[in-house]
Amino acid sequence: MTPSWLEVRQGAAPLIVSLPHTGTDLPEDIETGLVSPWLARRDADWWVDRLYAFAEDLDATFVRTTLSRSVIDVNRDPSGASLYPGQATTELCPLTTFDGEPLHRPGCAPDAAEISRRTALYFAPYHAALEAQIVRLRARYSRVVLYDAHSIRSRIPRLFEGELAQFNIGVNGGVSCDGALTAAVAELCAASSFSWVVDGRFKGGWTTRRYGRPSDGVHALQMELACRGYMDEPDGPPTPGAWPPAFEAARAAPLLAVLRPILEACLAFASSGSAP
């Protein structure tokens, strides 16, 4: 039985859109130990599930957790190893926000036993669902594209200098997908009016690195979008009265004019493979 916090929409096309950070739910037993529910939800990938809703028209598969990443981050290495050694990041069960603020009240931070509990209860089912969809689609297609959809504030000094590019394509140094797919996505970004980069600050999280196996017909890439492309980011740090801003359809339209061709390019790449 699928847990209530796990959403899976099965499509027939060889494209999976994973949404690991759009959730905001906080289980009551965890919420009581947090400094602030708002703080625990602040670093969500706000409105990304709404932004990519068009992919249902492409008959893509969606896998999404409704849980806040502050409960457990399903895009982190379950061993606890950092994906970006030497750089600031957040943990499997985050202790701080992106800006370094403590998430838990004194004495309430998750210990090893609690992290193991959350891993078994939340992390494992999410990835079991992803793996099941990959297996299902690989039985039908020789190539499947796993598109890991994210967004983040444009300026977070603790994580990166200056303003983030609008499109941040992560392919783990070219390992997680075929170079032809990376080139096709990069060309669409380059033809737009937006800034873009491949394997810049964000090279792909656990999902991209774990499942991207081109030799096995699974091509994974992460797309980290700067939030300014679809909502009005405040100039200063987020505050409860101003964050998150509303989704702005008019602002998002130029971004969507690039995102849709990107997903269509992913489908074209997957469909160009020979039959299994």
Q: How confident is the model at residue 64 (pLDDT cuts 50, 70, 90)?
A: very high
Q: How confident is the model at residue 2 (pLDDT cuts 50, 70, 90)?
A: confident
How long, in residues, is the chain?
276
Q: Single out the residue of 186, 197, 191 nearest to residue 163, CA to CA.
A: 197
Q: Rounded CA gap, 276 and 270, in Å? A: 12
Q: Quick check: 109 and 95 in contact, CB under 8 A? A: yes
Tokens representing residue 193 in the block: 């009016």
Report how far apart, in Å, the C-alpha atoms of 206 and of each of 80, 209, 210, 220 are.
Answer: 11, 5, 6, 11
Q: In what order do the strands lie in the sheet with 196-198?
A: 6-9, 61-65, 15-19, 144-152, 218-226, 167-170, 196-198
Task: Domains for the chain: give ranges and CATH numbers.
Answer: 6-271 (3.40.630.40)
Question: In the beta sheet, which residues pair with residue 223?
Answer: 149, 169
Percent with pLDDT over 90 in the chain: 93
pTM of the model: 0.97
Q: How confident is the model at residue 274 (pLDDT cuts 50, 70, 90)?
A: low
Digit-coded pLDDT (tens) for 153-199: 999 999 999 999 999 999 999 999 999 999 999 999 999 999 999 99
Digit-coded pLDDT (tens) for 201-240: 999 999 999 999 999 999 999 999 999 999 999 988 899 9
